Amino acid sequence: MFFLKKDNRGESKKFSSGIPSSRKGQVTIFIIIGIIIVAAVVVYLVIRQNLVGVSIPANIQPVYNNFLSCLEDRAKTGISLLESQAGYIQLPQFKPGNSYSPFSSQLMFLGNPIPYWYYVSGNNIPTEQIPSQGDMETSLAGFIDDGIRNCNFDSYYQSGFDINQGTPSATVSIKNNEVDVSLNMNLKISYGNDTSVIQNHQVAVKSNLGELYNSALKVYDKEKSESFLENYGIDVMRLYAPVDGVDLTCSPKIWNADDIFENLKEAIETNTLALSSQNPSTTKGKYFFVDAGISDGVRFINSQNWSNSYEVLPADSPIMIADPVGNQQGLGILGFCYVPYHFVYNIKYPVLVQVYNGDETFQFPVAVVIEGNEPRVPLNSTANTVTFDLCPYRNTQTTVSTYDSNLNPVDSQISYECFGESCDMGNTSSGVLTTQFPQCVNGFVIAKAQGYEDSRMQYSTTQEGNVNLILNKLYNLGINLKVNGADYNGDAIIYFTSPENSQTISYPEQTQVQLGEGEYTVSVYIYKNSTIQLSQTTTQQCTQVPASGIGGIFGLTESKCFTVNIPPQIISNVLAGGGKENYSVSDADLKNAHNLEINADGFATPTTMEQLQDNYAIFDSKSLEINLQ
């Protein structure tokens, strides 16, 4: 230590403290070392409570091991939920389907709901709901926080342990083959004179969650861009259902839509289950091979008992009919008959995709949508923004009242159609529904009720108002068909045509019809067996096509002819009776009736093509006798 002192003459002189300079440096070093030691002790005291197995007394260690085991079990339970529920622990808001679209936002599988990754909502809006890996990590962390304080320490409490838990805050990191969990929570364990406070807790759970999730995304992306499930469905549809074709026959082709749909459901279920990601060795197996570029296994599951929708057009009833061409009056020059048919199908059904590795399976459902015999348009972005969703914007109070023809209340399902969308508005109670409708100009309010014809009314919902709808009751009537006054049990087709309720009956397979009050055009075609031999013919047909060269640019045409070879055919089912009749029926008449008797005239069974065409000419002039009984 140094200081200055002035002498009597005012001059300053330097005096030394007597400490050599070498010892002065040693003191400084000791001070620094002391500071380091103190800091090390402080750091050790701070982190010692996190050093598992070092600072925990032996008699407290089993309690902490039990806690870590509980933490691991809680994480495993959350992982299992993520894998079984398409990456969700807390399910997104449930959105129901309706009679127009069969999909809700969740698929029920073995009694458990699984959110769709892709579905078509009840408002016919394509929708995606795919969780990200970050979403899964956050939801798993929250699941651990919610349940970790419920670990069972009862046996330790009975042995005299005192255990206190603080507020938990978990973080999760999902890796391909492991899930790391870090939990920040003060855990104080006391026993006798020993006390330990542990704050940070770490577990690593062996799981393929990350790998399976990434593989599931690849399978979904393949379906999203290629619609390969829809393409398989279309193949099944064309194999098991009439779609396009021509048959050489002079009688109508008849199919039962209900039977076709049942066959389709069974075939789609079987063929979907046959799809596999395993590289096959057989030609048949290669057809069912789905190359998603992943090493994990993939299963595709469908059940005909799940919600689905099958629709075929044109068809006003379960009977699908294709009428023949070539046997009508004036078409004798053709010399043959044929039945062309073209049916359009709209099919929607779910497929559950399961990606697995060992004992672990990650699953998610998607909706398969076939519209107009074509697969849905592949999605290039989030489907929520594809179209404007009108139905949620309900701000106009409207009262709908539904009655039968006697003005008695009828409970019915109400919907509102506007801009191509159909919104489910709810059901009437005692014939009345008051609810908020979306605003629309010239939309349609529609009422449906079991046992009644559908009723619809054009109505604008730009301001509050009331709508009254009358539903005509449908009555079941047995059909008693007669030909020339005698009971007939052969083949016939009976058409009941009206603007509100058109039906087609394939007799004698169907002997019941549902009719409501109104005016119908009733047509009966009687068919009998015959043998009309048509030999092979060759005809030439010509058509006008754009002229070749520069003339085609200016709209000039030229005749183009080609030869048509018609193979020989045998006509075995021919028109042999029938007629048409306009028939009006009232609700009072139908209420007291049980059967509908139809008497038609029979014709001579034709044996030549000319006689067959004569029968079609006679048919147009024949009437029917129709009586309610």
Instruction: For residues 395 and 20, give the distance between their C-alpha atoms in angstroms, rounded to a whole number.
Output: 95
Max alpha carbon distance in the chain (Å)?
161
Q: What would the two tokens of residue 270 be? A: 């079987």
Hunting for tokens 């919104």 — which residue is that?
A: 423
Concatenate the DSSP letters of all residues of 270-331 into one string: HHHHH-BSSPPSSHHHHHTB---S-SSEEEEE--TTS--EEEEES-SSSEEEE--BS-STT-
473 CB-side CA count, 13 A: 19
Listed residue (264, 307, 300, 265) closest to 122, CA to CA: 307
pLDDT at 283: 73
Start-to-end Cα distance in the chain: 133
Please, what is the angle between helix 61-84 and helix 133-147, to 10°? Answer: 140
User: pTM higher than 0.75 for the full model?
Assistant: no
Residue 225 CA to its chain's centroid (Å):
17
Q: What would the two tokens of residue 56 be? A: 């925990």
pLDDT at 299: 93
| Low-confidence residues in the chain, pLDDT < 70 | 1-27, 30, 38, 40-54, 98-101, 123, 316-317, 326-337, 378-389, 534-558, 560-569
The C-alpha torsion from 324 through 326 and 327 to 333, rounded to 10°, is 180
Return mean pLDDT, the chain: 83
Please, what is the angle between helix 133-147 and helix 209-226, to 10°? Answer: 140
> Are 628 and 595 within 8 A, CB to CB?
yes
Listed residue (606, 601, 616) closest to 529, CA to CA: 606
Q: What would the two tokens of residue 583 be? A: 């028939």
Instruction: For residues 418 and 421, give the distance between their C-alpha atoms in angstroms, rounded to a whole number.
Output: 5
Kindly report the number of other CB atoms within 10 A of residue 449's CB atom: 22
Instruction: For residues 446 and 417, give the distance between their C-alpha atoms in angstroms, rounded to a whole number.
Output: 8
Question: How many residues appear in the chain?
Answer: 629
In whole angstroms, how far apart are CA 295 and each of 174, 218, 351?
19, 11, 21
Instruction: For residues 495 and 483, give the distance between their C-alpha atoms in angstroms, rounded to a whole number.
Output: 16
pLDDT at 26: 60
Instruction: For residues 226 and 208, give the distance between their C-alpha atoms in angstroms, rounded to a whole number.
Output: 27
Question: Alpha-carbon torsion 98, 101, 106, 110, what sign?
Answer: positive
> Are 418 and 443 within 8 A, CB to CB?
yes
pLDDT at 96: 81
Concatenate the DSSP letters of all residues of 368-392 into one string: EEEETTEEPPPPSS-GGGSS---TT
pLDDT in tens, 104-126: 889 988 888 999 999 888 767 78
Please, what is the angle between helix 209-226 and helix 228-240, to 10°? Answer: 60
Q: What are phi and psi of 438, to 5 degrees?
A: -70, 145
In whole angstroms, how far apart are CA 238 and each of 16, 196, 242, 302, 606?
111, 72, 7, 19, 35
pLDDT in tens, 265-296: 999 999 999 998 888 777 777 889 999 889 99
Instruction: For residues 196 and 187, give the distance between their C-alpha atoms in angstroms, rounded to a whole number.
Output: 8
| Burial grade of 209 (CB within 10 A; 0-12, 13-18, 19 or more) | buried
